[in-house]
Structure 1
Amino acid sequence: MRPPLIDASSGATEALAKYCTFDLPFARDAAAVDWAAYTDLIGPNIGAVMARVSWNYAGMLARVDAFLPELSASRRSCAARMVGSGWAGPIRSKGGCRGINVSYGVGSGHRGAGLGRLLAYCAVAECMAHQVLAGAPLPTFVNTQARATNAASLAVARSLGVPACPEAGFVVPEDGHQVEYLGFREPVEHFLARGLDCAVDRLAGYDPGAMAAARIGIVADEGEDLDLLGLLEGSTACVEHARP
């Protein structure tokens, strides 16, 4: 059994969620002014947003959560509290190209340590591993978007290193005005080459893709790694990147 994955920067424990919902327990106690940072994920206008993106979800999402210990009110016990999540889901563009859309959210008291970026990198790695191991169509690009007025979300999007892509942006009508969403997109191999280095540096013992593999019953022998990049290079499903 592999030891827990603990982020060297924040001290948070990382784990793949059993159920990949867009539940945000770390946002429930957020002040009204901070709640706006999460509306890109679960806001009342999310249906209108999904109607404007140039893709549809086309497979099972991966969600990687971060937990920190928290003392009970009596200070007699300590429980793990979720402080952030990263989501990655297979998508298919209207032109037929396959990709991965990545989303992220971190509690306001835990920002600034790069936790959202780490969760996003891990979520994409686990999503990609599931696609490869399940023999599903292999994504060729990574996509994310953020509301132009959402400073917290934009900061994470830019920290991921994904180039801005005007074609991935869009405008959503909301309460009588137009809300701009900025898009970011790049080949998945570029994202993984950069993201896996970051994840492995921060998470001692992290084997990218191993959490997704374990979920479907594939466990590497002790002392061996899954080698996600090797799997990608050897996959017969690997196709040349095409811009959607």
Structure 2
Amino acid sequence: MDNQTMLDPGLRKALEGLKKHQGQKESAAVAAEMLKGKILAPAVWDKAPAPDGHGQLVFPPDTNISLMVMERQDKKNFFPFFTSKETLEKWSPKAQCLVLTFDQFMPFLKMAGGEVDGVILDPEDLDITLDTSFLQQLEKIRLRGLSANRIVKGDKVTVKDPGEEGKYLGNVLAKTAESMPEVRSIVLKERLMPDNSQHWFIIVDADSEDPVLFSKLSAEGSRLAGGRDMEFMFGSTELGKKIMHDSMPVYTREKA
């Protein structure tokens, strides 16, 4: 499919990857693209939009807008979303639609309550469903902030293996590292803080110890950090070496 005709090539590519292999890495890629991308949502409304002073079409405040719903053979209902006009027209050539971000379509899902079970993406070919609980978890991550910190010498560091929530973050870090040839491996841990809170603790083993690496990893990982601080340490430090020796990395650079 020609990327020029697509609303969100990044999301489409991630969905195609998930279609080929339904693994954690592929699911994390879709989650990341859903949070930052846009979709086409077939909808109906009772008042026509009109151009505002900036040439944008705007609905009157009292417009009633409803997203269209698909019922599957198992009787579950989903909002059908599309990554391009082409995939939308395969489903319904005459459907009118809205261009929505994640933050814009989530209120529709909330208002639907238990009557809608999630969303289905490009149903005419990829036919990938994301259930409501998955999207609600993404929304929690979206609404939380990020603070990237470094360990200060003398700090007490108690770490443990990451729980279920860490799987998505680990996969995003691994995907990001694939485009960073200087990174040899990454270990992800949870750091237990004195106030009983938990931070993400990320050890990076790299050819060159440039703090910019931390910035790149935190920029991509922020979407799935779950509101926790992200603390970074290079693998060359004494503590970094010890933790990496005793841990399974979330990313290891392939040998040339």
Do these two structures clear the TM 0.5 threshold for a shared fold by scoring above it? no
- Which protein has the larger Cα radius of gyration, Structure 1 or Structure 2? 2
Under a length normalisation based on structure 2, what TM-score does the superposition of the two structures give?
0.26
Under a length normalisation based on structure 1, what TM-score does the superposition of the two structures give?
0.27
Larger RCO (CA under 8 A, 6+ residues apart): 1
